[in-house]
Amino acid sequence: MRRLLMSVCAVVLANGAAFAQDESEDWAIVLHGGAGVIERGDMDAATEAAYREALDAAIRLGGDMLADGASAMDVVEAVIHTLEDDPKFNAGRGAVFTSGGRNELDSSIMRGSDMQAGAVAGVTNVRHPISLARAVLEHSPHVMLQSEGAEQFAADQDLELVDNSYFFTERRWASMVRAVRRMGLPIPPRPEGAPEAEPIEEGALDLMEREHAFGTVGVVARDASGEIVAGTSTGGTTAKRWGRVGDSPIIGAGTYATSQCGVSATGTGEYFIRLNIAARICTYIEGGDTPDAALDAVIMDELTDMGGDGGVVILANDGPHWSFNTPGMYRASWTPGEAPVVSIYGDEE
């Protein structure tokens, strides 16, 4: 069983209160960059170092902002921006392709204090889908927008729009071509505006497949005021068809926040949607379960029993936790007074 609990400082335990340090130090952040069959020896040293560096930079950006008094909303958006811009992750640039050969992006964000939420699905031309999700929360009367309507709203909100080819990466393209071939479907034409084709190492494709083409990104932050915000951004699953939407933009499935709990998920969305994973973890915790017990019940028992795979990062009153039933999950956390934790494999902290 791979469930990892962050250490909680003695002061906190002694006082029986979360993060009982001085006000400005009362913050926490946890993030993921996807889960899957990521095992030691799969990646060469340089690739592994690049992932660790990206996770470390992201968690430090978020922690520094929180320590400077930034709101959890601003922090979640800013940290997800950097991960959406990083082609290693399946969000924004570097997102996976549909079987039709384009990138369709999903994202959501939720604020715990008032349980306001915004979500978008199937957007093809918004550089930072998390910002569009935030705009839905802040500037629309709705919770979830999809495809052309969401893109129209993005234009109305003056968000940065890009051509779909902006999201193109060779390795994600090659991975989709391989999947589409296996499915017996026609290989879609290379998108207009994509760079010249480059050879991709078969080993890199194998790794991506074992990663399940995961690489979805998610952040949960609590700021000094106690506000919890959770956000998630993804390209979905490789070679998805028919306008498929996963759990990431579905409030309660891939993202959830209340005044006491925040969750961002990654994994095969079809399971996370049916199990309403993110909301149920918070419901268990608010009903009196410890975070460990809630994660055991939902991830290790229910998700696993259903045959699903993936994991979550959560913030509860005693700080960050994570849980996954895959061999690895790209992840990081930081709380005041502790060094940031950056991990990939199941046998790490």
Catalytic residues: 216
- Please tell me whether residue 248 binds ligand ASP under the rule CB under 6 A: yes
- Please tell me whether residue 246 binds ligand ASP under the rule CB under 6 A: yes
- Pick between residue 190 and residue 210 the one whose CB is nearest to ligand ASP: 210
Mark the segment that binds ligand ASP (CB under 6 A) among 191-199, 229-237, 287-295, 334-342.
229-237
Beta carbons within 10 angstroms of residue 247's beta carbon: 31
- Pick between residue 224 and residue 312 the one whose CB is nearest to ligand ASP: 312
Q: What is the dihedral of CA 23, 20, 329, 69, to 10 degrees?
A: 0
- Pick between residue 83 and residue 224 the one whose CB is nearest to ligand ASP: 83
With a CB cutoff of 8 Å and minimum separation 6, the contacts of 111 are 72, 73, 117, 137, 227, 228, 229, 257
Mark the segment that binds ligand ASP (CB under 6 A) among 116-124, 172-180, 267-275, 295-303.
267-275
Using an 8 Å Cβ cutoff, are 176 and 182 in contact? Answer: no
Beta carbons within 10 angstroms of residue 202's beta carbon: 10
DSSP SS3 for 263: strand
Q: Least distance from C-beta 116 to ligand ASP, angstroms? A: 22
The neighbouring-strand residues paired with 41 are none
- Pick between residue 248 and residue 323 the one whose CB is nearest to ligand ASP: 248
- Please tell me whether residue 326 binds ligand ASP under the rule CB under 6 A: no
Q: Least distance from C-beta 311 to ligand ASP, angstroms? A: 9
End-to-end CA distance of the chain: 13
Interface with ligand ASP (CB under 6 A), residue total 15
- Please tell me whether residue 98 binds ligand ASP under the rule CB under 6 A: no
Residue of minimal Cβ distance to ligand ASP = 246
Q: Give the one residue of 129, 231, 267, 311 binding ligand ASP; rule: CB under 6 A.
A: 267
Closest Cα partner for 77 from 130, 22, 15, 30? Answer: 130
- Please tell me whether residue 291 binds ligand ASP under the rule CB under 6 A: no
Using an 8 Å Cβ cutoff, are 66 and 29 in contact? Answer: yes
Using an 8 Å Cβ cutoff, are 336 and 281 in contact? Answer: no
Q: Least distance from C-beta 106 to ligand ASP, angstroms? A: 6
Using an 8 Å Cβ cutoff, are 80 and 54 in contact? Answer: no
**Burial grade of 45 (CB within 10 A; 0-12, 13-18, 19 or more):** exposed
Using an 8 Å Cβ cutoff, are 325 and 309 in contact? Answer: yes
Mark the segment that binds ligand ASP (CB under 6 A) among 240-248, 301-309, 325-333, 335-343.
240-248
Mark the segment that binds ligand ASP (CB under 6 A) among 4-12, 155-163, 243-251, 294-302.
243-251
- Pick between residue 66 and residue 208 the one whose CB is nearest to ligand ASP: 208
- Please tell me whether residue 311 binds ligand ASP under the rule CB under 6 A: no
Alpha carbon distance 232, 257 (integer Å): 12
In the complex, the residues that contact ligand ASP under the rule CB under 6 A are 34, 90, 214, 216, 234, 236-237, 246-248, 254, 266-269
